[in-house]
Amino acid sequence: MKVRLVILMLIMLIPYNIYPNKIRQIKEVNNEKEFFLALSNNTEIVILCDILDFSIENLKEVLNIEDSKEYVLSYSDLIERKNESYYLSNGIVLHGYKNLKIRSKNHTEIIEKSEFGNILSFKNCKKITLENLSIFHTPETCNGSVLSLISSSHLKIINCSLNGSGGIGVNLIGTDNVTFNHVQIFNNVFYAVESINSLAIVFKNCHIFDNHNWGEALIHTEISNLIFKNCLIENNEAQNLIKISSENNTHFYPKFIQCTFSDNVFNLIENISVGKKLRKKKKTEIVLKLYLKILVNEFNRNHDGSNDRILSFFANDHVVNYLDSNKLNRIMPYYFHLKSKPYIPLVSEINQIGSRTFKVVIINTMGHKEKTVWNISFNRKNKIREFEIEKHLNN
């Protein structure tokens, strides 16, 4: 009896936060202000109202915050964001939340009234669930994304409607282990789904329909593993089912399992294929080539649209090493530095010099044809862990 009492006392002394993955509190909310006040780790938010207006102008007023871009070219470093925070960056971004469930009793509509705003984005989040929500832009045509999942993992989207009214329905960047179950994705003009550098993405029992043809294909995927199971895909106007780079064609082609296709413009026979399993070394090289392709295309473009894509190729603890100055830094300040220069790069050589290290020679086609050498090393998850920059050399 004494032994049991001692054990019980020891259990009571265990810190409450030793169970970080359990929902600790349920909060009911009726408007936008209550919703954002309720945001917290290990929390379930139950939305009782019919509409939440996530329009940029409305959130500026309700939350008393300004639109602060995630990256700005004039900055020398990244804007540091705290976990469990939110901010506006062409739409609301929820940053660094863990074990958060957001559900509605009445299939609440989350709306954006502008043509260019991204409605809802999650960044650096883990174990997020969205349930019984309808997310859409109110204008008939627009360019913003509906749901963006960036550098996050272990998310569930259940019984939701993603109505683009333009833009992209699901935007995945550097995000892994996501399940979409009984989700409707429709009325998007560019892509129903766009997935960059994202793994273990599963669509089950989803309905993908009435999407338009501005984006070359219904689904755009690069270095991603997408599985569509028991989905109905119908009445889509895109000329192609899949858009994928030639560098990784078939190796990362989506899998369609027991899906039904009906009344689509694209030719189904030439689009359905599944590639062979890649050797690890070959996969790392393909990841490197896609990174270089995205990087080179972004120079001399005065926008930040691909910054999250660039960063998704890097491990969180990555290091940029300037060999000629022993200076340590992160990749984005170096990237901003290159973008600010008259720099039109050409990838001249790619040579493997280690099991996971590649030497990349870049030639600036402007001016004196300066040559830069990068030694890029990957970890076992095919994320760049070290980026060495050798001194610029003139030919």
Residue 26 dihedral angles phi and psi, to the nearest 5°: -115, 125
> What is the rounded average pLDDT of the residues 363-383?
86
Confidence of residue 11 (pLDDT cuts 50, 70, 90): very low
Residue at 201: amino acid letter: I
Among 165, 69, 49, 77, smallest CA distance to 116 is for: 165
The DSSP string of 320-332 is: EEETTTTEEE-HH
> What is the CATH class of 282-389?
alpha beta
Q: pLDDT at residue 375 above 80?
A: yes
Q: What is the percentage of the chain residues whose pLDDT exceeds 70? A: 82
Cα distance between residue 133 and residue 221, in whole Å: 25
CA 32 vs CA 15, 93, 114: distances in Å: 33, 14, 17
Confidence of residue 334 (pLDDT cuts 50, 70, 90): confident
Taking only the tens place, the pLDDT of each residue in 274-297 is: 444 545 557 888 899 989 988 888
CATH entry, 20-277, from 2.160.20, 1.10.1060, 3.30.70, 2.70.70: 2.160.20
Cα distance between residue 383 and residue 318, in whole Å: 9
Most confident of 35-49, 300-314, 342-356: 35-49
Taking only the tens place, the pLDDT of each residue in 60-102 is: 999 998 877 766 555 555 677 899 999 998 899 999 999 999 9
CB 292 within 8 A of CB 299: no
CB 312 within 8 A of CB 151: yes
Q: pLDDT at residue 4 above 60?
A: no
Cα distance between residue 389 and residue 394, in whole Å: 15
Q: Where are the domains of the chain?
A: 20-277, 282-389
Quick one: how far is CA 283 from the chain centroid? 20
Q: pLDDT at residue 160 above 90?
A: yes
Taking only the tens place, the pLDDT of each residue in 236-272 is: 999 999 998 766 556 788 999 999 999 999 987 544 5
CB 74 within 8 A of CB 306: no
What residues contact 355, with CB distance under 8 A and at least 6 apart? 281
Among 135, 96, 103, smallest CA distance to 117 is for: 135
- Range of weakest confidence among 74-78, 113-117, 327-331, 341-345: 74-78
Residue 146 dihedral angles phi and psi, to the nearest 5°: -90, -60
Domains 20-277 and 282-389 share a fold: no
Confidence of residue 17 (pLDDT cuts 50, 70, 90): very low
Q: pLDDT at residue 393 above 60?
A: no
pLDDT in the model for residue 297: 82
